[in-house]
Amino acid sequence: MPVKLKRVVSIANQKGGVGKTTTAINMAAAIARNGHKVLVVDLDPQGNASTGLGISPDDREFTAYDVLVDGVDIQKAIVETNVKNLSIVTSNTDLSSADAELMNDKGRLIRLRNSLEGIRHFDYIFIDCPPSLNLLTINAFAASDSVLVPLQSEFYALEGLSQLILTVREVREALGTELFIDGVVLTMFDRRVKLAQQVEIDVRDNLKSLVYKTIIPRTVRLSEAPSYGETILEYDALGRGAEAYIALGDEFLKRDKKKQK
- The pLDDT of residue 4 is 46
Query: Which residues, at least 6 apart from 70, have a Cβ–Cβ distance to it below 8 Å?
Result: none
Residue 45 has pLDDT above 80, yes or no: yes
Q: How many C-beta atoms lie closer than 10 Å to residue 179's C-beta?
A: 23
Contact 128, 21 (CB under 8 A): yes
Q: How confident is the model at residue 118 (pLDDT cuts 50, 70, 90)?
A: confident
What gap in Å lies between CA 246 and CA 232, rounded to an integer?
A: 10
* pLDDT single digits (tens) 207-220: 999 999 999 999 99
Residue 163 pLDDT exceeds 50: yes
Which pLDDT belongs to residue 155?
78
pLDDT (tens digit, 9 = 90+) per residue, 20-43? Answer: 999 999 999 999 999 999 999 999
Confidence of residue 153 (pLDDT cuts 50, 70, 90): confident
- Weakest mean pLDDT among 77-86, 106-115, 148-157, 228-237: 148-157
Phi, psi of 3 (to 5 degrees): -65, 130
Q: Which is it for strands 7-11 and 146-152: parallel, antiparallel or unpaired?
A: parallel
Residue 41 DSSP code: E
Q: Residue length, the chain?
A: 261
Report whether pLDDT(165) > 50: yes
Cα–Cα distance list, 144 to 6, 33, 71, 214 (Å)? 11, 22, 19, 23
Bridge-based pairing state of the strands 86-89 and 78-80: antiparallel
Q: What is the pLDDT of residue 108?
A: 94
Strand pairing of 38-42 and 180-187?
A: unpaired
Map out the domains of the chain as residue ranges.
Answer: 7-260
Q: Supply the pTM of this predicted model.
A: 0.94
- Looking at residue 259, its pLDDT comes to 77
Using a pLDDT cut of 70, give the percent of the chain over it: 98
Residues 6+ apart with CB under 8 A from 153: 186, 187, 188, 189, 190, 193, 195, 196, 199, 200, 215
Q: Which CATH number fits domain 7-260: 3.40.50.300, 3.40.50.10490, 2.40.30.270, 3.30.530.20?
A: 3.40.50.300
- Residue 146's contacts (CB-CB under 8 Å, 6 or more residues apart) are 7, 8, 9, 10, 179, 180, 181, 182
Helical segments of the chain, H only? 20-33, 48-52, 64-70, 74-77, 98-101, 111-116, 135-143, 161-175, 194-207, 220-224, 232-235, 240-260
- For residue 5, what are the contacts with CB-CB under 8 A and spacing of at least 6? 116, 119, 120, 122, 125, 145
What are the backbone dihedrals phi and psi of residue 17, each rounded to the nearest 5 degrees, phi first? 70, 30
Of 228 and 4, the one with more pLDDT: 228
CA distances (Å), origin 9, targets 58, 113, 138, 178: 28, 12, 13, 12
- Whether the per-residue pLDDT at 5 is higher than 60: the answer is no
Average pLDDT over residues 72-84: 96
Phi, psi of 202 (to 5 degrees): -65, -45
